[in-house]
Amino acid sequence: MTNALHPTRRRLLGAGAALGGMATLGLAGCATTGGPSIGRVVVVGGGFGGSTAARYLKMWGGNVDVTLVERNAQFVSCPISNYVIGGHAGMDRITRGYDGLKALGVKLVQGEVTAIDAAAKKVRLANGTELPYDRLVISPGIGFMTEQTGGLQAQLDSGRVLHSWQAGPQTAALRKQLEAMPDGGVFAMTIPKVPYRCPPGPYERACMVASYFKQAKPKSKVLVLDANPEVQSKKALFERAFAQHYQGILEYRANNEVKEVVTQGSQLVAKLEFDDVKADVLNVIPAQRAGDLARNTAGLVNMNNRWVGVNWLTMESTAVPGVHVLGDATFSAPAMPKSGHMANQHAKVAAAAIIQLLKGEAVNSTPVVMNTCYSFVTRTDVVHVASVHQYDAADKTFKTVPGSGGVSAAANQLEGRYALSWADNIWADMLALPA
């Protein structure tokens, strides 16, 4: 990164000169408020990655001009959303506002980015507004490869089939479908081949729906159709939960990839390779790629025609200079999960690096990121998986530390409390929520 140092400073000075009063930017070095701005950063996407980046740029950078563009008025969390789908909490438990970021001085813009001009360093919004930047951060989340499953897009458009893999209205709608389903009905869910957002998420969802049926609709069934050959995360712990708590309610089928979705009377049919599965409520988690913003608007997708390659020291795209990409959209380092927790960690690496780049300093050459993921297997009992990833200079990627990380010894209630506390802490960390 040292050789990127001088061109960066040159570009910055050029930008500063063009803006008149910003000629000293990048040289001030001090991070107190009230001095000249050290640069303008536009962050697109107010989820786990983007919000954290905005918060830490302000907290660590002092006088960085930070604008956060987000299309929704409020943040709704994917983590804990399965708990809501299971009926154990309401939407308010996973919904938070952006006022904490505003109070820090982050400029909040509710809108949709329609174009990115990386050469001119400008972002254009649907309403015509143009936002110039010195560094751009994009946290685009996931997009769905609905073209892989016949009939799926039309079913999603009509709201008959839900993915509920982006939290918000889809979360509330799936809960409503489950509540409306008569006892004795079948809830079927399909899991795409890896990689997808939140590896343990589908299995947690199966447990949460089964926990609801066990208590309120005991004649109903949960059918899990997994395109993968086995449970993809916390395998032994989920298999134990299926057998211990949901025998006769939950059925797990490996190597079952949904090919087509059709309507048959009041029911839905998931067509598999060898047979058809009828369901009253069908939840299809589609195959995934980097979000449309990365793909269509920014031209950032350069890995397997699916994900965004990044320099792990800065989170800068390997396709478009000056654009930093966070979270699920990135082409993951080995054993690095696509999770909200990891997106938050990406954002901190990016925020530290962007501040150093804006100041013309060398970036941290030894970043560390870690992941913790809690999954509910019953209303009270939770299992975790954790990992720590140190940067490997030789291979220019993050690698897990041998002997570190792991899963819960068994599902337990203490971690049930920790799971909810984790959520409150990470939401506060990213959104600067008041105590």
Partner 1 sequence: MIRTRAVVAAAATLTALLVPLAAQAQATAPDMVLARNLAATCANCHGTNGNARGDMKPLAGMPADKLIAMMADYRAGNLPATIMHQIVKGYTEDQIKLIAAHFAAQKPAK
Q: Which residues contact 424 (CB under 8 A, 6 or more apart)?
A: none
Kindly tell me which residue out of 110, 364, 380, 397 binds partner 1, with binding defined by CB under 8 A.
364
Q: Which is nearer to partner 1, 103 or 414 (CB)?
A: 414
**Total chain residues near partner 1 (CB under 8 A):** 44
Distance of CA 118 to the CA centre of its chain: 24
Q: Which of 344, 357, 377, 411 binds partner 1 (CB under 8 A)?
A: 344
Least distance (Å) between residue 62 CB and partner 1 = 13
Cα–Cα distances (Å) from 294 to 68, 225, 251, 289, in that order, read: 16, 29, 37, 10
Applying CB under 8 A, among 295, 359, 379, 389 the residue interacting with partner 1 is 389
Binding window for partner 1 (CB under 8 A); candidates: 154-162, 261-269, 295-303, 401-409 = 401-409
Out of 12, 282, 323, 352, which residue is the one contacting partner 1 (CB under 8 A)? 352
Applying CB under 8 A, does 432 fall inside the site for partner 1? yes
Taking CB under 8 A as the criterion, the residue among 65, 204, 226, 415 binding partner 1 is 415
Minimum CB–partner distance for residue 224 and partner 1 (Å): 26
How far apart, in whole angstroms, are the C-alpha atoms of residue 39 and residue 390?
A: 29
Q: Count Cβ atoms below 10 Å from residue 370 Cβ, excluding itself.
A: 17
Enumerate the H helices of 217-285 as residue ranges: 235-245
Site string for partner 1, 37-76 (x = CB under 8 A): -------------------x--xx----------------
Tell me how far apart the alpha carbons of residues 87 and 210 are, in angstroms, rounded to a whole number. 11
Q: How is the beta sheet containing 64-70 ordered, strand by strand? A: 107-110, 64-70, 39-44, 135-138, 323-325, 316-317, 310-311
Which residue among 14, 29, 321, 406 contacts partner 1 (CB under 8 A)? Answer: 406
Comparing C-alpha atoms, which of 277, 283, 253 is closest to residue 264? 277
Which residue in 228, 318, 390, 397 binds partner 1 (CB under 8 A)?
390
- Nearest distance from C-beta of residue 344 to partner 1, angstroms: 6
Does position 29 interact with partner 1 (CB under 8 A)? The reply is no
Spatial CB neighbours of 31, under 8 Å, sequence gap ≥ 6 = 60, 61, 62, 63, 355
Name the one range near partner 1 by CB under 8 A: 17-25, 36-44, 113-121, 427-435.
Answer: 427-435
Q: Does 413 contact partner 1 by CB under 8 A?
A: no
**Whole-angstrom distance, CA of residue 1 vs CA of residue 364:** 9
Under DSSP, is residue 196 helix (H, G, I), strand (E, B) or coil? Answer: coil
Report d(CA 122, CA 134) in Å as an integer: 9
Terminal alpha carbon distance of the chain: 38
Q: How far is the CB of 139 from partner 1 (least distance, A)?
A: 16
Q: Rule CB under 8 A: which residues touch partner 1?
A: 56, 59-60, 341, 344-345, 348-349, 352, 364, 366-370, 372, 384, 386-390, 400-401, 403-406, 408, 412, 414-415, 417-418, 420-422, 424-426, 428-429, 432, 435
